[in-house]
């Protein structure tokens, strides 16, 4: 018998197309899982609206669950409430750091409000002397930073509310 808990575990194996170290569960994209006999219903909320990855995630969810033996899988997109970086799990934040991407800083909003530069600690040496190189990193969801201390370039996963 497959349970909801199993489905959540299977979904942990579906990674984000843009940040492969993160599962869609880490990202907080999976909102709900419903099992009804042989039908499995998954509700997801897209991350950044500009990310073209959602269709890919939908296909990957269906493929993964069918591979696990679930016959009927449907994926529903729910746009409200909108996804925020607050939904990133703690393990997701740690995985981002290990991957070399600075996770979103929740204080960022305040500094944006007062037009102060955002302090994003370096994911490698944790130095707070970093500077933004570009608003957009490898994808629109990220900004590009450089660490002034270890000179390491890194991406910052932008905070979104």
Closest to Zn ion by CB, 21 or 150:
150
125 binds Zn ion (CB under 5 A): yes
Provide the minimum distance between the beta carbon of 19 and Zn ion in the complex, in angstroms, as a whole number.
Answer: 20
**From the CB of residue 48, how many other CB atoms can be counted at a distance below 10 Å?**
18
Provide the minimum distance between the beta carbon of 155 and Zn ion in the complex, in angstroms, as a whole number.
Answer: 13
22 binds Zn ion (CB under 5 A): no
Cis previous bond, 58, omega within 30: no
2 binds Zn ion (CB under 5 A): no
Backbone angles phi, psi at 59, to 5 degrees: -65, -40
CA angle 76, 156, 20 (to 5 degrees): 50
The 39-58 site mask, x for binding Zn ion (CB under 5 A), equals --------------------
Q: Which residues in the 129-148 window bind Zn ion by CB under 5 A?
A: 147
| Residue 33 near residue 40, CB atoms below 8 Å | yes
Q: If residue 15 lies in a helix (H) or strand (E), which one and from where to where?
A: none
DSSP secondary structure code for residue 138 in this structure: S
CA gap 33, 137 in Å, rounded = 33
27 binds Zn ion (CB under 5 A): no
122 binds Zn ion (CB under 5 A): yes
Greatest Cα pair distance in the chain: 56
150 binds Zn ion (CB under 5 A): yes
The 68-107 site mask, x for binding Zn ion (CB under 5 A), equals ----------------------------------------
User: Which spans of this chain sit near Zn ion (rule: CB under 5 A)?
Assistant: 122, 124-125, 127, 147, 149-150, 152
């Amino acid at each position: 018998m497959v349970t909801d808990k199993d489905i959540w575990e299977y979904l942990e194996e579906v990674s984000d197309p843009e940040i492969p170290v993160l599962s869609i569960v880490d990202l907080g994209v999976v909102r709900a899982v419903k099992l009804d006999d042989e039908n499995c219903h998954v509700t997801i909320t897209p991350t950044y609206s500009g990310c073209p990855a959602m269709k890919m995630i939908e296909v990957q969810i269906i493929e993964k669950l069918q591979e696990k033996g679930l016959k009927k899988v449907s994926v529903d997109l729910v746009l409200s409430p909108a996804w925020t970086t607050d939904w990133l799990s703690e393990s997701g934040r740690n995985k981002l750091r290990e991957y070399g991407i600075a996770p979103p800083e929740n204080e960022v909003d305040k500094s944006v409000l007062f037009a102060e530069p955002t302090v994003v600690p370096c994911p490698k040496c944790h130095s707070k002397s970093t500077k933004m190189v570009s608003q957009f990193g490898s994808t629109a969801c990220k900004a590009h930073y450089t660490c002034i201390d270890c000179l390491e370039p890194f991406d910052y996963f932008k905070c979104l509310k």
